[in-house]
């Protein structure tokens, strides 16, 4: 199946609500306006209801009830709000995916996003865009499982979705990878062009005329998150470390490992994606 055929086949996948794209764009500004964000979220009653339910869940351990989006922004902060809004949208779009352990998938994706943020900060790249790009960088894998489950099941049998050589096998079988599919869908979902480009070039961020540092951040963060999923020890991580991308970003193995989350993603955090 060609990429165009896959995209047509997967048209049944709901689009990310425009309000999520607008909220993300506002959060990416140097000085986000909390009132404008609250007004945007309020235009989608379903999003508002789920956002407040999550904000009041046991995961955040708040001592008082949050009754409005504005209050949620004040108490939780922009970073948590970004995660919740995007999690609600993605969880709604991908409720069930054949052949995919969604708990593991979103754990890996959220870990990638968590690593992207400090890496971007250290390189003076936009942290918010880096987090978002990290969170959605592998969504193409879900689209492929939905659009051609039998074909992808055979690829899964050959190599795990979290294996370092996954993209290489996909390209050899299909002629394209989850990165190509994810970029196409991010464009369809009206994500900012900087994120679309980062997704498109995440596997090869520096080649020829391509120079995409944000794609390089995703490349490094996803490598680290995959290593975590596969329980690689330090020697194994050193053997698989993406040296070329790291050198061009000015990073070392120690620098990347230093950006590990204080806490890897928990079951509580995954509730937003799974329920």
Of 151, 158, 83, 66, the closest CA to residue 117 belongs to: 83
Q: 14: pLDDT confidence band, cut at 50, 70 and 90?
A: low
| 3-state DSSP assignment of residue 272 | helix
| Residue 33: CB atoms within 10 Å | 12
**More reliable by pLDDT, 66 or 172:** 172
pLDDT for 132: 83
Task: Kindly state the average pLDDT of the residues 244-251.
Answer: 95
Average pLDDT, the chain: 85
Angle among Cα 121, 137, 169 to the nearest 5 degrees reads 125
Contact status, residue 269 vs residue 59, Cβ threshold 8 Å: yes
Q: Is the pLDDT of residue 261 over 70?
A: yes
Residue 259 pLDDT exceeds 80: yes
pLDDT of residue 197: 94
Q: Is the pLDDT higher at 180 or at 30? A: 180
Comparing 62 with 206, which gets the higher pLDDT? 206
CA nearest to 10, candidates 142, 135, 102, 101: 142
- Higher pLDDT: 267 or 161? It is 161
- pLDDT score, position 10: 64
SS3 content of the chain, % helix, strand, coil (to 5): 65, 0, 30
Query: Is the separation of the CB atoms in 90 and 257 below 8 Å?
Result: no
Residue 76 confidence (pLDDT) above 80: no
- Binned at pLDDT 50, 70 and 90, residue 204 comes out as very high
- Distance, in Å, from the CA atom of 133 to the CA atom of 202, rounded to the nearest integer, reads 10
Predicted pLDDT of residue 55: 73
pLDDT value at 167 more than 70: yes
**Structure-model confidence comparison of residues 93 and 59, the more confident one:** 93
Report whether pLDDT(60) > 80: no
Q: Compare 56 and 225 and report the one with higher pLDDT.
A: 225
Q: What is the pTM of this model?
A: 0.81
Q: Does residue 166 have a pLDDT over 80?
A: yes
Q: Given this model, what pLDDT does residue 67 score?
A: 84
CA dihedral 246, 247, 248, 251 (to 10 degrees): 50
pLDDT over 70 percentage in the chain: 92
């Amino acid at each position: 199946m060609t990429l165009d055929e896959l995209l047509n086949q997967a048209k049944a996948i709901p689009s990310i609500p425009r309000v999520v794209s607008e909220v993300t764009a506002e959060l990416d500004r140097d000085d986000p306006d909390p009132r404008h964000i609250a007004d945007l979220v309020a235009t989608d009653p379903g999003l508002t209801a789920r956002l407040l339910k999550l904000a009041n869940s046991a995961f955040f351990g708040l001592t008082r009830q949050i009754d409005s989006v504005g209050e949620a922004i004040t108490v939780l902060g922009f970073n948590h709000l970004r995660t919740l809004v995007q999690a609600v949208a993605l969880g709604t779009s991908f409720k069930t995916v054949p052949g995919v352990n969604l708990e593991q998938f979103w754990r890996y994706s959220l870990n990638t996003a968590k690593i992207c943020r400090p890496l971007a900060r250290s390189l003076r790249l936009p942290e918010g865009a880096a987090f978002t790009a990290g969170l959605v960088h592998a969504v193409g894998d879900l689209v492929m499982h939905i659009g051609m489950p039998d074909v992808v099941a055979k690829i899964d049998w050959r190599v795990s979705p979290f294996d370092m050589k996954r993209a290489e096998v996909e390209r050899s079988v299909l002629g394209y990878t989850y990165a190509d599919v994810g970029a196409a869908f991010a464009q369809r979902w009206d994500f900012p062009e900087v994120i679309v480009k980062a997704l498109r070039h995440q596997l090869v961020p520096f080649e020829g005329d391509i120079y995409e540092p944000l794609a390089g951040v995703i490349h490094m963060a996803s490598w680290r998150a995959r290593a975590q999923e596969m329980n690689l020890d330090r020697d194994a991580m050193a053997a698989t470390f993406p040296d070329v991308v790291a050198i061009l970003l000015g990073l070392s193995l120690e620098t990347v490992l230093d950006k590990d989350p204080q806490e890897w993603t928990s079951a509580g955090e995954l509730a937003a994606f799974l329920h």
